[in-house]
Amino acid sequence: MNLSKLISSEEIIGGLEISSDSIRFILLKNDQSATETKIICEEKLGPKESLENLDLFQKKLSDFVKKNHIKYAIVSIPADNIFVKLYNFPIAIPEEKISESMNLNIELQLPQKKADIYCDWMKSEKTESSQKILLSYIKKAYADKLFTVFKKSGIKIIAIETHALSLSRTIAQTPGEALLVIEKNNENISFSVLVNNNLIYLQNSPKEKISDNLSGEIQKIINFHNWSDIKLKNLFLIGNFSEKELKNLPLKILPLIKEKTGDKKQPLDQKWLISLGAAKRGLIPRKDDKIISLMEVGTEKAYKQEKANLSADFFMGVSIALSVFFIAIFFATWSFISLMQSNYNKRISTLSLLPGSENGILLKEKADMFNSLISETSLLMQGEASWSKVIEEIKNKLSEDVKISTLSLPSADGVFTITGTATNREAVNKLKRSFESSDLFSSIDIPLNNLGKKIDIPFSMTFKIKDSKLIYTK
């Protein structure tokens, strides 16, 4: 049981792409030399297994999650039910004024009521004179249905974003040049504009509406952005397009690209770009993830909630297992004592029939032996140490500035040892003061070492239980 991992470390978060015809998942891990692809898997969806039929989709997703051992994910979904809008602010405007203005825009300018949506915004393209803010929302009723499906599937969702936002992390761009990305699926065609790998525009339309006029729709988007002095030159396509659709397009189509990951730099097919972009977001520390998430809570809070749920489930399972174990010990001990007492009574009956003083001496010796046995077995029945109290107290005394690597659990009267790393010297001192304030711990000692280091300070702390009776249960 890795208690240190349960208490302090973060799980690796992958990228899960949900499309109209498939589910794709990529899990990345940062090593010192390169970004390594740990898991890459795909499952095709039948005509009735897409997000349009959530019951069948949920069954397909559950099998996919279980088969590939998926825990945490950044989920990227199509733009069908997502709204995006870009706002411009003067470069010198303070952060708090931007927040106030965005909150007013959410309350007054969006076509949906705030109570009916999950909405978020983030900083986007920045110039010498302006700061662009990208806002996005999803209808709450639709999002809640998705959350229910994901929960039933056993996957922990940290953030939800659009395909276009995921693609912004994987498509290489020339600095300052605007790129139009067109994604086609079974039902819709989405158009997004990226500048310096920042999403600034998103439009989604049914395929029937576009029909055979893809070139005309692209020209409308070009004209719209000309008003903002954004010149679209290149086009990037995802999905299957017919020769007729690609005829006489007003923009140059970029060639297919191969994203490379891992030490061997093996190329990934273009179909993996969305899930790869979501997986790259999963590598960002949760406290630094300020990217749009179409959920009720932000990514850091969502991650902490899922970790708390996992810890609660773990300790509940451990508590139940320990309870069953101790009950079994109690009944085994009771049965053993009962058997010994029964055997002893039979021996007493036999000995009482024998004449002579020697039998009296033997009887006394047997009685002394039996009393000794009763004394020893009663100690077994006094109680067992409740280690969950100790672990819970340790968790309560830790802070975010301290990462635990090992934790030793000796006997209740022994010396406990914790080793780990603190962000700075003050964090070490704060940890010692925190444990000294505990009603459960005593004899706190952290030897002074690594005095030359100012950050990422390794430490070793020892302590004892003030009174072992505090952690014993009857």
- Of 466, 311, 305, 314, which is closest to residue 390 (Cα–Cα)? 466
For 48-65, the pLDDT digits (tens) are 888 888 999 999 999 999
The span from the CA of 96 to the CA of 90, in Å, is: 13
pLDDT of 2 reads: 42
Q: Please check whether the two domains, 3-296 and 385-473, share a CATH topology.
A: no
- Other beta carbons within 10 angstroms of residue 273's beta carbon come to 24
pLDDT of 360 reads: 47
DSSP string, 80-91: GGEEEEEEEEET
CA distances from 308 to 4, 92, 188, 350 (A): 15, 40, 38, 63
Q: Architecture of domain 3-296 in CATH?
A: 2-Layer Sandwich (3.30)
Q: Architecture of domain 385-473 in CATH?
A: 2-Layer Sandwich (3.30)
**31-36 long-range contacts, CB within 8 A, separation 24+:** 33/263, 34/261, 34/262, 34/263, 35/261, 35/262, 35/283, 36/261, 36/262, 36/263
The span from the CA of 137 to the CA of 113, in Å, is: 11
Q: What is the separation, in whole angstroms, between the first and last Cα of the chain?
A: 25
CA distances from 413 to 102, 442, 461, 465, 469 (A): 58, 11, 17, 7, 10
The span from the CA of 280 to the CA of 268, in Å, is: 14
The span from the CA of 330 to the CA of 358, in Å, is: 38
Residues lower than pLDDT 50 in the chain: 1-9, 263-264, 299-300, 302, 310-312, 351-352, 354-360, 363, 366-367, 370, 373-383, 474
**102-110 long-range contacts, CB within 8 A, separation 24+:** 102/133, 102/135, 105/135, 106/135, 106/137, 110/83, 110/137
Which amino acid makes up residue 80?
A: D
Beta partners for residue 132, in sequence order: 88
Taking the whole predicted model, whether its pTM rises above 0.75 is answered as no
pLDDT of 313 reads: 52
**170-173 long-range contacts, CB within 8 A, separation 24+:** 170/259, 170/273, 170/274, 170/276, 170/277, 170/280, 171/197, 171/236, 171/257, 171/273, 172/257, 173/197
Task: Tell me the domain boundaries of the chain.
Answer: 3-296, 314-382, 385-473
pLDDT of 316 reads: 60
Alpha helices, DSSP H, located in 132-197: 140-153, 163-167
For 247-288, the pLDDT digits (tens) are 889 999 988 665 555 544 555 678 899 999 999 999 998 888
pLDDT of 34 reads: 66
The span from the CA of 463 to the CA of 474, in Å, is: 25
How, if at all, do strands 117-126 and 188-195 pair? unpaired
